[in-house]
Amino acid sequence: MIRYTLQCDQDHRFESWFPSADGFEALKAAGQLECAICGSRRVEKSLMAPSVTPARKKADAPEAKPERPLSEPQSEAEKAFAAMRRHIEENSDYVGMNFASEARAMHAGETEARAIHGEAKLEEAREMLEEGLPVLPLPFLTRRKTN
């Protein structure tokens, strides 16, 4: 794995991991890279310092401060996305990998209907859609620890 600092044509800087340098180039050539902040597809590698740990003690090392932390919404779209995520997580039950069975049980009237979110394998999701279950993929991964 390799981490690159990337920059879009709007001067937004962010980091991303790639399986290799060739992996980055393949994604770029396919037009599958986009800015994590504004969505621009004009993304290039930015100058970056190598990550080298000095021989001195960690306590003596100055703390690195990120330029723009991705954990804080930067644009109006990111703020709306964060609000949507917060709303979903606060107003539905997380059922984990039991999502397909829970959704089917509610659809069949076997259990009380309620708002749920969770995880399903691609084939399970396809089958639920073919069965007419009102499900849709969420554009984020759960924050819950899986192990």
51-93 per-position pLDDT tens digit: 666 666 555 555 655 555 556 767 888 888 888 989 999 999 9
Q: What b/e string do you get for 13-24 counting C-beta neighbours within 10 Å, with b at 16 or more?
A: bbeeebeeeeeb
Q: What is the pTM of this model?
A: 0.49
- Per-residue pLDDT, 62: 59
The sheet carrying 2-8 orders its strands as 13-18, 2-8, 43-45
Q: At 23, give phi and psi (nearest 5°).
A: -60, -40
Fill in the amino acid letter for 131: E
**Distance, first Cα to last Cα, the chain:** 22
Q: Are 111 and 105 in contact (CB under 8 A)?
A: yes
Is the pLDDT at 7 greater than 80, yes or no?
A: yes
Q: Where are the alpha helices (DSSP H) in the chain?
A: 21-29, 76-91, 99-107, 122-130
